[in-house]
Amino acid sequence: MANQEKVLTDRRVAIIATDGVEESELLEPRKALEEAGAKVDLISLKSGNIETWSDQDWGSSIPVTKTIHEATAADYDALMLPGGVINADRLRLDEDVVEFVGDIVRAGKPVAAICHALWTLIETGEVEGRNVTSWPSLKTDLENAGAFWVDEEVVTDEGWVTSRKPEDLPAFNEKMIEEFAEGEHAGESDDLDEDEEEEEDEGEDDEILAS
């Protein structure tokens, strides 16, 4: 990441995780983001510390920056979602987490998700039409939600970066930094603006015909 310098100096990034998060998928992307200059907050379901999962057992205890109830999506420029079955299963069932993630996505802000983390993206209802990858067992869930799933180490699609597993982290981190540095992509607000312009054009046409 040294060759990327501090390309995220003005960026604030949210990482959402809870107990059972895959340790490498939390710590390595966070390190990459911080080395690129980003201000990173670890947001969780509870205050205090969360316990990671590593090598089929409980791992490190990681301090939480703030709870999901204290966090506001508008305060962040990008979102990173680490995996881990226990972690992802708990997060996708939390309404506040799903709302926060959905707000980030609908604002067109970049998102990076790895392994089982895409479960939470499915819950937002925003994966339809997206090109993604994930842990293989999520393939059917993603396709049923309208996504196009491929078995590749990293997939990018209009600000989204997805990967399958810890072994993909080098490629995942590199693409994540690139997309986060690029910033917001076309979101629903742009679509609404286009719709409003079309309505204005139609109104002008009607005035011309009536005159």
Assign 3-class secondary structure to 112-142.
EEEHHHHHHHHHHCCCCCCEECCCHHHHHHH
Q: Of 92, 116, 130, 164, which residue is the catalytic one?
A: 116
What residue type is 21 in one-letter code? V
Q: Are 52 and 59 in contact (CB under 8 A)?
A: yes
Q: Of 21, 81, 115, 138, which residue is the catalytic one?
A: 115
70 among known catalytic residues: no
Dihedrals phi, psi of 73, to nearest 5 degrees: -55, -35
Nearest to 46 by CA among 63, 58, 22, 25: 63
Nearest-angstrom CA–CA distance, 199 and 32: 45
Q: Which two tokens stand for residue 56?
A: 């089929």
Dihedrals phi, psi of 151, to nearest 5 degrees: -95, 80
What residue type is 210 in one-letter code? A
On the CB side of 56, CA atoms within 13 Å amount to 0
Dihedrals phi, psi of 159, to nearest 5 degrees: 95, -10
Nearest-angstrom CA–CA distance, 78 and 207: 44
185 among known catalytic residues: no
Residues with catalytic roles: 115-116
